[in-house]
Structure 1
Amino acid sequence: MQVSAGQLRHKVALQARQETRSDYGEVTLDWTDVASVWAHVAPQSGREYFAAQQVQSEVSTRVTIRYRDDVDATMRVTHRGTTYGIEAVLPDDGSGFDHLTLMCSEVTT
Protein backbone atom coordinates (compact mmCIF):
# COMPACT_ATOMS: atom_id res chain seq x y z
CA MET A 1 0.00 0.00 0.00
CA GLN A 2 1.39 3.37 -0.98
CA VAL A 3 0.57 6.60 0.79
CA SER A 4 -0.32 9.46 -1.55
CA ALA A 5 0.63 13.05 -0.86
CA GLY A 6 -3.07 13.94 -0.55
CA GLN A 7 -3.46 11.63 2.45
CA LEU A 8 -0.65 13.41 4.33
CA ARG A 9 -2.52 16.60 5.15
CA HIS A 10 -1.63 17.18 8.82
CA LYS A 11 1.57 18.97 9.82
CA VAL A 12 3.18 17.29 12.85
CA ALA A 13 6.44 17.77 14.72
CA LEU A 14 8.69 14.85 15.62
CA GLN A 15 10.49 15.43 18.92
CA ALA A 16 13.37 13.71 20.68
CA ARG A 17 14.78 14.00 24.21
CA GLN A 18 17.90 16.11 24.43
CA GLU A 19 20.25 16.29 27.37
CA THR A 20 21.71 19.70 28.21
CA ARG A 21 24.06 20.85 30.93
CA SER A 22 23.84 24.15 32.74
CA ASP A 23 26.87 26.27 33.62
CA TYR A 24 26.82 24.54 37.01
CA GLY A 25 26.92 21.04 35.52
CA GLU A 26 23.27 20.32 36.19
CA VAL A 27 21.80 17.93 33.61
CA THR A 28 18.32 18.63 32.26
CA LEU A 29 16.30 16.64 29.75
CA ASP A 30 14.07 18.51 27.37
CA TRP A 31 12.15 17.77 24.17
CA THR A 32 13.45 19.31 20.98
CA ASP A 33 11.97 19.31 17.48
CA VAL A 34 13.78 16.93 15.13
CA ALA A 35 11.60 17.50 12.08
CA SER A 36 8.33 18.94 10.91
CA VAL A 37 6.63 16.51 8.52
CA TRP A 38 3.32 15.94 6.75
CA ALA A 39 1.28 13.10 8.20
CA HIS A 40 -2.06 11.37 8.31
CA VAL A 41 -3.37 11.44 11.90
CA ALA A 42 -6.22 9.03 12.69
CA PRO A 43 -7.63 8.35 16.16
CA GLN A 44 -7.94 4.59 16.70
CA SER A 45 -9.85 4.20 19.90
CA GLY A 46 -10.73 5.94 23.11
CA ARG A 47 -11.42 4.34 26.43
CA GLU A 48 -11.62 5.28 30.03
CA TYR A 49 -10.37 3.10 32.77
CA PHE A 50 -9.95 3.26 36.53
CA ALA A 51 -6.43 3.28 37.87
CA ALA A 52 -5.27 4.20 41.34
CA GLN A 53 -8.82 5.28 42.22
CA GLN A 54 -8.79 7.91 39.47
CA VAL A 55 -10.52 7.93 36.12
CA GLN A 56 -7.86 8.11 33.44
CA SER A 57 -8.29 8.53 29.72
CA GLU A 58 -6.24 6.69 27.08
CA VAL A 59 -6.40 7.58 23.43
CA SER A 60 -4.70 5.52 20.74
CA THR A 61 -3.77 7.33 17.55
CA ARG A 62 -2.17 6.16 14.34
CA VAL A 63 0.17 8.65 12.65
CA THR A 64 1.40 7.78 9.15
CA ILE A 65 4.43 9.62 7.72
CA ARG A 66 6.80 9.15 4.81
CA TYR A 67 9.68 6.80 5.62
CA ARG A 68 12.50 8.20 7.77
CA ASP A 69 15.33 6.19 9.26
CA ASP A 70 15.67 8.40 12.35
CA VAL A 71 12.31 7.70 14.03
CA ASP A 72 12.08 5.37 17.03
CA ALA A 73 9.84 4.65 20.01
CA THR A 74 11.76 7.00 22.34
CA MET A 75 10.41 9.97 20.40
CA ARG A 76 7.07 11.76 20.44
CA VAL A 77 4.75 13.58 18.03
CA THR A 78 2.96 16.89 18.53
CA HIS A 79 -0.11 17.84 16.51
CA ARG A 80 -2.50 20.76 17.09
CA GLY A 81 -1.41 21.23 20.68
CA THR A 82 -1.63 17.54 21.58
CA THR A 83 1.41 15.44 22.39
CA TYR A 84 1.55 11.74 21.54
CA GLY A 85 4.13 9.27 22.79
CA ILE A 86 5.27 6.81 20.14
CA GLU A 87 4.53 3.26 21.32
CA ALA A 88 5.66 1.45 18.14
CA VAL A 89 7.17 2.28 14.75
CA LEU A 90 5.83 0.01 12.00
CA PRO A 91 7.27 0.04 8.45
CA ASP A 92 4.92 -0.46 5.52
CA ASP A 93 4.22 -4.07 4.60
CA GLY A 94 5.58 -3.72 1.06
CA SER A 95 9.16 -2.52 0.70
CA GLY A 96 9.44 -1.22 4.26
CA PHE A 97 10.76 2.09 2.89
CA ASP A 98 7.58 3.83 1.66
CA HIS A 99 6.01 5.01 4.91
CA LEU A 100 5.99 4.49 8.67
CA THR A 101 2.98 3.97 10.88
CA LEU A 102 3.50 5.36 14.36
CA MET A 103 1.22 3.81 16.97
CA CYS A 104 0.82 6.52 19.60
CA SER A 105 -0.89 7.27 22.88
CA GLU A 106 -1.77 10.72 24.14
CA VAL A 107 0.63 12.16 26.72
CA THR A 108 -0.96 13.98 29.63
CA THR A 109 1.04 16.35 31.78
Structure 2
Amino acid sequence: MVRAGSLNHPLSLQERQMGRNPDTGAVINLGWVEVAQLFAGIEPLSGREFIASAAGQSQVVARIVTYRDPRVKRGMRFVHCDGTIYRIEAVLPDKKNGREYQTHPVSEGLNNGE
Protein backbone atom coordinates (compact mmCIF):
# COMPACT_ATOMS: atom_id res chain seq x y z
CA MET A 1 0.00 0.00 0.00
CA VAL A 2 1.21 3.47 -0.86
CA ARG A 3 0.85 6.25 1.68
CA ALA A 4 -0.96 9.29 0.29
CA GLY A 5 1.71 11.60 1.74
CA SER A 6 4.33 9.94 -0.45
CA LEU A 7 2.52 11.19 -3.57
CA ASN A 8 4.05 14.64 -3.24
CA HIS A 9 5.51 15.40 -6.68
CA PRO A 10 3.31 17.60 -8.91
CA LEU A 11 3.31 16.26 -12.47
CA SER A 12 1.70 17.30 -15.72
CA LEU A 13 0.32 14.33 -17.68
CA GLN A 14 0.75 15.06 -21.38
CA GLU A 15 -0.14 13.34 -24.64
CA ARG A 16 1.11 13.98 -28.14
CA GLN A 17 -1.41 15.78 -30.31
CA MET A 18 -1.46 14.86 -33.98
CA GLY A 19 -3.16 16.64 -36.87
CA ARG A 20 -3.21 16.86 -40.64
CA ASN A 21 -1.36 19.27 -42.88
CA PRO A 22 -4.15 21.19 -44.64
CA ASP A 23 -2.18 21.33 -47.90
CA THR A 24 -0.92 17.76 -48.18
CA GLY A 25 -3.16 15.80 -45.80
CA ALA A 26 -0.07 14.29 -44.19
CA VAL A 27 -0.23 13.48 -40.48
CA ILE A 28 1.87 15.95 -38.49
CA ASN A 29 2.96 16.27 -34.86
CA LEU A 30 1.33 19.30 -33.24
CA GLY A 31 3.22 18.92 -29.95
CA TRP A 32 2.37 17.86 -26.41
CA VAL A 33 -0.89 18.82 -24.69
CA GLU A 34 -1.63 18.63 -20.97
CA VAL A 35 -4.34 16.09 -20.11
CA ALA A 36 -4.26 16.37 -16.31
CA GLN A 37 -2.24 17.45 -13.31
CA LEU A 38 -1.43 14.65 -10.88
CA PHE A 39 0.53 14.11 -7.69
CA ALA A 40 2.90 11.16 -7.68
CA GLY A 41 5.65 9.34 -5.89
CA ILE A 42 8.90 9.03 -7.84
CA GLU A 43 11.29 6.18 -7.01
CA PRO A 44 14.64 5.99 -8.86
CA LEU A 45 15.64 2.42 -9.70
CA SER A 46 18.26 0.83 -7.49
CA GLY A 47 21.61 0.00 -9.08
CA ARG A 48 20.62 -3.67 -9.40
CA GLU A 49 17.26 -2.83 -11.00
CA PHE A 50 18.92 -0.37 -13.39
CA ILE A 51 21.42 -3.00 -14.54
CA ALA A 52 18.62 -5.56 -14.98
CA SER A 53 16.55 -3.12 -17.05
CA ALA A 54 19.58 -2.30 -19.22
CA ALA A 55 20.03 -6.00 -19.92
CA GLY A 56 16.49 -6.06 -21.31
CA GLN A 57 17.25 -3.18 -23.70
CA SER A 58 15.11 -0.86 -21.56
CA GLN A 59 15.88 2.71 -20.63
CA VAL A 60 13.69 2.67 -17.54
CA VAL A 61 15.22 4.91 -14.86
CA ALA A 62 12.44 5.19 -12.27
CA ARG A 63 8.98 4.15 -11.13
CA ILE A 64 6.26 6.74 -10.78
CA VAL A 65 3.27 5.83 -8.60
CA THR A 66 -0.06 7.67 -8.96
CA TYR A 67 -3.61 7.13 -7.88
CA ARG A 68 -5.39 5.00 -10.48
CA ASP A 69 -6.32 7.14 -13.48
CA PRO A 70 -7.64 5.61 -16.72
CA ARG A 71 -6.36 8.61 -18.71
CA VAL A 72 -2.73 7.51 -18.20
CA LYS A 73 -1.48 5.43 -21.15
CA ARG A 74 1.82 4.03 -22.39
CA GLY A 75 3.57 6.52 -24.71
CA MET A 76 2.28 9.57 -22.84
CA ARG A 77 4.64 11.53 -20.63
CA PHE A 78 4.86 13.14 -17.22
CA VAL A 79 6.55 16.52 -16.84
CA HIS A 80 7.74 17.37 -13.33
CA CYS A 81 7.47 20.97 -12.09
CA ASP A 82 11.30 21.11 -12.27
CA GLY A 83 11.13 20.44 -16.03
CA THR A 84 12.18 16.77 -15.95
CA ILE A 85 10.41 14.74 -18.64
CA TYR A 86 9.45 11.10 -18.02
CA ARG A 87 8.15 8.93 -20.87
CA ILE A 88 5.59 6.39 -19.66
CA GLU A 89 6.73 2.89 -20.69
CA ALA A 90 3.89 0.94 -19.02
CA VAL A 91 0.86 1.28 -16.75
CA LEU A 92 0.77 -1.43 -14.06
CA PRO A 93 -2.13 -1.89 -11.59
CA ASP A 94 -1.38 -2.00 -7.87
CA LYS A 95 -0.52 -5.41 -6.47
CA LYS A 96 -3.30 -5.51 -3.90
CA ASN A 97 -6.48 -5.11 -5.95
CA GLY A 98 -5.59 -3.13 -9.08
CA ARG A 99 -8.01 -0.35 -8.25
CA GLU A 100 -6.30 2.16 -5.97
CA TYR A 101 -2.84 2.94 -7.39
CA GLN A 102 -0.86 2.34 -10.54
CA THR A 103 2.85 2.15 -11.19
CA HIS A 104 4.53 3.55 -14.28
CA PRO A 105 8.04 2.45 -15.28
CA VAL A 106 9.46 5.57 -16.97
CA SER A 107 12.44 6.57 -19.07
CA GLU A 108 13.93 10.02 -18.76
CA GLY A 109 15.21 12.38 -21.39
CA LEU A 110 15.19 15.85 -22.81
CA ASN A 111 13.15 15.21 -25.95
CA ASN A 112 11.49 11.87 -25.20
CA GLY A 113 10.28 11.27 -28.70
CA GLU A 114 9.67 14.82 -29.87
* Structures share fold, TM-score greater than 0.5: yes
Structure 2 distance, partners of 1:87, 1:59, is: 8
Matches within 5 A, 1:1-109: 1=1, 3-21=2-20, 23-24=22-23, 25=25, 27-29=27-29, 30-45=31-46, 60-79=61-80, 80-109=82-111
Unaligned runs of at least 5 residues, structure 2: 51-58
Aligned residues: 99
TM norm structure 2: 0.74
The alignment-based identity, stated in percent, is: 41
Report deviation, 1:59. 5.8
Indicate the larger mover: 84-93 or 58-67.
58-67
Moved over 6 A (4+): none
The answer to whether the 8 Å contact 1:45/1:59 transfers is no
- Which one has a larger percent helix, Structure 1 or Structure 2? 2
1:52 alignment partner in structure 2: none
The answer to whether the 8 Å contact 1:43/1:59 transfers is no
Deviations 1:1-54 (A, max 9, x none): 2x232111100111111113455456432211111101001211477xxxxxxx
How large is the Cα RMSD of the aligned pairs? 2.1
